[in-house]
Amino acid sequence: MTPYQSPPWRKLTELSGGKGVKAEWQNFPEELLAITNEQASAIPCNGRAGCYMNVVQHGPSDIVGICTSDTKQCERRTLKKSELALYRIDHKKLATKVAAAIGFTEQYEKITGYAALWKFGVLNPQAEHSFPVYCFLGQTSSQLDKIVNQLCMGEQTFLLIAATSNLISTASSDASSRHKSKLIGIDDVLAVDGTGKVTAKDSAQTIVSNWLETVLPKSAKPSEANQLVLPPGTTWKDISITFLARDVVSIKCGEETAVNYERLHIPGMFVASQREKKPSDKWFLLMAFALWGPGLNRENLRTLFGHDDWNRMRTQKSALSKSLKQFFGLDDEPIPYNKSVYEYQPILMIRQDTNCDLNDWISDIHQ
């Protein structure tokens, strides 16, 4: 699909007050817009960039637009009320998209005392290490500089996502680096295709992963976690694996705090090395259980792997079971075959988060 000719995120910095009529938002994805109770006093003229018309209301249904710059080329025209409605970014929906793309726990709230700053959630790469994720939706670099300086006065390391990467000045970048924090733009995380659908950029998790490598103590880096240490007495029924994004899962064991793991940081489980970008068949199979499960039958496996060799399917499933047993340190079979219903049925819970749609990625196995 053909991408938009210009990144839509620039609208977040171009529109006064972060609000505009539909004609001003142009190619911005509608799914991320929320209508307000306000109406515009001026709207763009049809077909002319930078040309606006004043809104004149003679009555409830008698509304006209009169060009303010060149009346000879922009004719006076009748306007509909729907053309005057002001829209703003839907912060909650944006937070959900960003959380799914990067792989963190969404905790949306407006931060008081800071201009145009929202908390989108918490990045929890290890149980003892968590980092707040903020989003700055102001319009100037100087505003962002002030926010970064305020946040850097605290001790907590953070990830801050700006409206666009162009807002990040050298001063802000240097200040955040000294603080061991990270600044990126929404354009580093999300993309919009030609149909207006918002998708996660593959580079988003790589950027965050590379940053985490510099801030996590070596002993706590998830890449060194070849086996999870489970509470005594843990069985497969106590374990849940929840996909937050294609390459990020949240693992919870009983009453223990859930911990997020990136695929590339679990070498003994689902990937051979840090350089292997495409997920292995084991990882895609785990995704399939989360997407189509709880159980998978032969038809599901045929759809996933693209072949009808039952012995090969069994081998591929066994490889996943072996990796799960190695990582969790359990000897019992985690995904037995139920002959009564002809399905592989996991004993542990494998699912996708409500903010994650693995349909966007499951077909990548055939690329």
The tens digit of pLDDT for each residue in 27-86 reads 888 999 999 998 888 888 875 566 888 888 888 778 888 887 765 567 778 888 888 889
Rounded distance, CA 59 to CA 179, Å? 57
In DSSP notation, 216-227 reads S-GGG-GGG-SS
What is the pLDDT, as a whole number, of residue 23? 84
- CA-nearest of 136, 358, 141 to 244 is 358
| For residue 6, pLDDT beyond 60 | no
SS3 8: helix
Q: Which two tokens stand for residue 316?
A: 């591929």
Average pLDDT, the chain: 82
Laid out side by side, the sheet with 62-67 consists of 42-44, 52-59, 62-67, 77-78
| For residue 177, pLDDT beyond 50 | yes
The tens digit of pLDDT for each residue in 213-246 reads 888 765 444 444 455 677 778 899 999 988 887 7
- Which H helix or E strand runs over 172? helix 170-178
SS3 176: helix
Residue 3's pLDDT band, with cuts at 50, 70 and 90, is very low
- CA-nearest of 255, 266, 261 to 230 is 255
In DSSP notation, 236-285 reads GGGEEEEEEETTEEEEEETTSPPEEEEGGG-TTTT-S-TT--SPPHHHHH
Q: Which two tokens stand for residue 273?
A: 């090395």
SS3 79: coil
Q: What is the DSSP letter of 118?
A: E
Rounded distance, CA 104 to CA 209, Å? 12
> How many C-beta neighbours within 10 Å does residue 223 have?
17
What is the pLDDT, as a whole number, of residue 272? 41
Domain boundaries, the chain: 8-89, 91-219, 221-366
Rounded distance, CA 363 to CA 367, Å? 8
